[in-house]
């Protein structure tokens, strides 16, 4: 198994050291109650295209084990990559793996935190390079690969059973991108072109899935609720037009409840879009999870608005 370099050599690996130190500082701030979680992945990635949020999200960690595990492998793999490829290329690899894995997680689920996607990406890249580039001989042995593969499937089990939610999409996409990156570095000419095209396709899909296609691509219940709350917050700030936009997106998401449609009706009412408000209220009232008060309110507003439009 590849051994990590001595901590006395931190100055020789400024990129890996800086990433590790930033992860420690931001995580400790988060644990102490500082509002750094506001910098993590949320609806603003989609609503305002704040893709930069992948950076702080990658540095935050949930608990000590999460932080220690990721720091160990980031330092072990990252120092090797930085020593051979240099500081700038190492920084580019870190950024590519962080962006791709974190955006992929956010695109389909509620988003995650941690360097796990980068760690799996470095493992996937070194797994390929170890077999094809003599500079990386013994970088990833069988024991290490078995551990990464075993942890990957264990994390899926922990997530499915509800024991502990894990960013499994980030793990998988990170490993896939890392393997493609390895082939792009040391593969045959055809493998290089295919890998570069594959990386470009993955990045295009995760960027689109995190922005313009997010309300359609995402299937987590928490994401729908987050957008809905953002819409209500926009209403509180008298920004009815933005509230309508957010709540329309919430209703398009999978598992959107009657509440989302009802809130859309309220937003449309505030925006003066009465026909749209009527349709939203009626849709909410006809849904199985609509409350009795919601059905009655929707019925009353529908009658009142129809009469007002007719008289006008």
To the nearest 10°, the Cα dihedral for 156, 70, 219, 225? 120
CATH of domain 7-217: 1.20.1540.10
Q: In the CATH hierarchy, which top-level class contains the domain 221-311?
A: mainly alpha
Report the C-alpha gap between 139 and 178 in whole angstroms: 14
Whole-Å CA distances, 164 to 101, 161, 223, 224: 19, 8, 18, 21
pLDDT tens across the length of the chain (312 residues): 788 999 999 999 999 999 999 999 999 999 999 998 888 998 899 888 999 999 999 999 999 999 999 999 999 999 999 999 999 999 999 999 999 999 999 999 888 899 999 999 999 999 999 999 999 998 999 999 999 999 999 999 999 998 888 999 999 999 999 999 999 999 899 999 999 999 999 999 999 999 989 888 888 878 888 889 999 999 999 999 999 999 999 998 877 899 999 999 999 989 999 889 888 988 998 899 988 878 877 776 766 555 555 444
Same fold, 7-217 and 221-311: no
Domain map (residue ranges) of the chain: 7-217, 221-311
Q: What is the pTM of this model?
A: 0.89
Structure tokens at 183: 């082939």
């Amino acid at each position: 198994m590849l051994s990590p370099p001595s901590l006395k050599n931190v100055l020789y690996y400024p990129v890996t050291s800086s990433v590790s130190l930033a992860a420690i500082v931001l995580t400790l701030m988060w644990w102490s109650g500082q509002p750094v979680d506001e910098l993590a992945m949320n609806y603003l990635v989609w609503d305002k295209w704040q893709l930069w949020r992948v950076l702080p999200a990658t540095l935050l960690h949930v608990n000590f084990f999460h932080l220690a595990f990721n720091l160990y492998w980031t330092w072990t793999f990252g120092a090797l990559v930085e020593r051979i490829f240099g500081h700038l290329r190492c920084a580019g690899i870190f950024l590519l793996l962080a962006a791709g894995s974190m955006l992929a997680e956010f695109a389909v689920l509620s988003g995650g935190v941690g360097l796990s996607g980068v760690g799996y990406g470095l493992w996937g890249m070194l797994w390929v390079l170890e077999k094809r580039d003599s500079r990386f001989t013994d970088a990833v042995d069988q024991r290490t690969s078995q551990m990464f593969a075993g942890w990957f499937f264990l994390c899926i089990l922990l997530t499915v059973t509800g024991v502990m939610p894990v960013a499994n999409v980030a793990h998988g996409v990170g490993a896939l991108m890392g393997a493609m990156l390895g082939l792009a570095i040391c593969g045959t000419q055809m493998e290089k072109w295919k890998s570069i095209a594959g990386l470009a396709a993955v990045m295009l899909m995760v960027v689109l899935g995190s922005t313009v296609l997010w309300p359609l691509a995402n299937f987590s219940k928490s994401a729908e609720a987050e957008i809905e709350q953002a819409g209500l917050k926009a209403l509180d700030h008298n920004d009815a037009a933005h509230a309508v936009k957010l709540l329309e997106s919430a209703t398009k998401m999978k598992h959107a409840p009657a509440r989302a449609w009802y809130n859309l009706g309220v937003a449309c009412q505030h925006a003066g879009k009465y026909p749209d408000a009527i349709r939203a209220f009626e849709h909410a009232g006809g849904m199985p999870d609509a409350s009795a008060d919601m059905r009655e309110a929707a019925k009353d507003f529908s009658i009142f608005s129809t009469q007002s439009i007719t008289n006008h």
